[in-house]
Amino acid sequence: MIAFQELLTADALISLLTLTVMEVVLGIDNVIFVSIVMNRLPEEKRLKARRIWMFTGIAVRIVLLLCIGYIIRATEPLFTIFGNAISLRDLIMLAGGLFLLVKTTLEIHHKLEGEEDETQQGGTKKAAATLANVVGQIILIDMVFSFDSIITAVGLAKHVEIMIIAVIIAMFIMFSFAPRISAFIHKHPTLKMLALSFLIMVGGILIIEGWNPEAVHDLHLKNYVYFAMAFSFIVELLNMRVRKQKPSHPVELRGPKETDLEPKK
């Protein structure tokens, strides 16, 4: 165990700050996914879902940090496919990437062509099922992102205690900003589609990282993805500023109603 005095040294504080910032940056895609999926819940269910996400996210990361020895061994090859050595970490990255691709594609379909969520008969039962479904998806994808971030964080701090403190601080920061990000994305349909496109790129990167980790690091693919998203985000902010000077009605990402699909007489 690390002494309390050691946490107040310059090296420990720099490691804590660096690791916290890194956890927040690596958690951006996680926050975007949570924000988009959370919007499908009724308003009264979102706070509960966010709290579950925060506490389970902290718990999962702490457990992974306490089992850091096993996590490091998870990078050892299990078998080889077409000359590529596949480890447990690679399998998790592949599964997480595929899940993110499928889920994001379905979410785009829902926003553009899906039906509206109706809560008429049996509305309470449907809302509860939606809450369980959304929370399950959030926990699943959070485990993938946390597994990746914990492995990345190993080289930035010497003590597990510092890593745990950094993870807790980062999760509270993400939890605090998640509602604002969710409301902002939901208010602007173009940003929502950009965010979904960003998640598709992240899913592709996870698959590439699971299949060939060296390619991601050698080619700095993550840097290109984050740059592309930041550039698109800045362009859209400029467009939003122009639209404020010339007000217009933004497109609404909703599905067609049944009455619209009926043939006209």
CB 22 within 8 A of CB 153: yes
Give, to the nearest 10 degrees, the angle between helix 123-153 and helix 160-187: 140
Q: Can you give the pLDDT at residue 119?
A: 44
Model confidence pLDDT, tens digit, residues 81-95: 877 788 877 888 888
Model confidence pLDDT, tens digit, residues 131-157: 788 888 888 888 877 776 776 666 566
Two structure tokens written together for 153: 């964080």
Q: How buried is 109 (Cβ within 10 angstroms: 0-12 exposed, 13-18 middle, 19+ buried)?
A: exposed
Two structure tokens written together for 173: 């920061």
Residue 34 has pLDDT above 80, yes or no: yes
**What is d(CA 71, CA 265) in angstroms, rounded to the nearest whole number?**
65
State the CB neighbour count (10 A cutoff) for residue 205.
Answer: 20
Q: Can you give the pLDDT at residue 124?
A: 45
Enumerate the H helices of 120-264 as residue ranges: 123-153, 160-187, 189-211, 213-219, 221-245, 258-261
Distances, alpha carbon 118 to alpha carbons 74, 103, 137, 257, 262, in Å: 44, 21, 21, 11, 18
| pTM, 2 dp | 0.69
Mean pLDDT of 106-110: 80
| pLDDT grade for 118, boundaries at 50, 70 and 90 | very low
User: What's the chain's length in residues?
Assistant: 265
Which DSSP category does 84 fall into?
Answer: E
| Mean predicted lDDT score pLDDT of the chain | 75
Single-letter residue type at 240:
M
Residues in Cβ contact with 144 at an 8 Å cutoff, skipping those fewer than 6 apart: 92, 93, 95, 96, 99, 100, 206
Displacement of CA 211 from its chain's centroid (Å): 20
State the CB neighbour count (10 A cutoff) for residue 264.
Answer: 3
Mean pLDDT of 233-259: 68
State the CB neighbour count (10 A cutoff) for residue 219.
Answer: 12
